[in-house]
Chain A
Amino acid sequence: MKIQILGTGCPKCSTLAKQAEEAAKQLGADYEIEKLTDIRDIMKMGVMTTPALAIDGSVKIVGKVPTVEEIKKIISGI
């Protein structure tokens, strides 16, 4: 599973990355974290509001930092 953090590097994006990593660890999931910080790469995924979270290329959250529990639900729902 590839967890993608979309954002140009502000504290919210950093927090989102940490939360996502924690969620994956708690679930015992096999994962890798990819950070997309170039606005061109972010826009290629159709996102115009950051921070955003995508799982395996599918955008799941836009414009907010979800809780670890919320991210776990998203991951589990795949």
Chain B
Amino acid sequence: MGESKACECSTAPKLIFACSGAADVGALSDQAARKMTRDGNGKMFCLAGIGARISGIMKNTEAAAAILAIDGCALNCASKSLEEAGFKNFEHLLVSDLGFQKGESPVTEDAVAKIAEAGAKLISKGVY
């Protein structure tokens, strides 16, 4: 490692974990998280890695500036997965609270945009 290299260490990111479950609201959660990432409102991170307790993912999440869990339905699998892994301080967005009901919510650009917008507001509030 040369001392002459410019520092590429990054500041702690805002991480987004989304339900990517089998239902339409899971697909909406997933796509909203990806849109938030593209829009620069945070970085989608791997919820499966949290469940698997991958050490790099766990430690990076511990170091995050903010965490947002996006759940598709009231089963709240994303937020419960984070809690099971020991994370308590995170913002939570429930897609069904925005009027998207499981089994009745086609994945459209408008729907994804609405959810992403709500998520962006939450994660900006959640910086700690």
Binding site for B on A (CB under 8 A): 5, 7-14, 17, 35, 37, 45-52, 54, 57-64
Contact status A11-B60, CB under 8 Å: no
- How far, in whole Å, are A11 and B13 apart by their CA atoms in the complex? 21
Contact status B13-A49, CB under 8 Å: yes
Taking A35-B1, A46-B57, A48-B10 as known contacts, 6 extra A-B pairs with beta carbons closer than 8 A to each other, sorted by chain A number, are A46-B46, A47-B56, A47-B59, A51-B9, A59-B56, A62-B63
Residues of B within 8 A of A7 (CB): 1, 8-9
Residues of B within 8 A of A47 (CB): 56, 59-60
Task: Report the interface size class on chain B.
Answer: 20 to 34
Contact status B60-A62, CB under 8 Å: yes
B54 at the interface (CB under 8 A from A): yes
Question: What's the least CB distance linking A58 to chain B, in Å?
Answer: 5
Known interface pairs A62-B59, A62-B63. Does A49 touch B9 (Cβ–Cβ under 8 Å)? yes
Q: Out of B1, B45, B46, B55, which one reaches A58, CB within 8 Å?
A: B55
Nearest CB in chain B to that of A57: its residue: B55
Contact status A12-B46, CB under 8 Å: no
Question: What's the least CB distance linking B121 to chain A, in Å?
Answer: 23
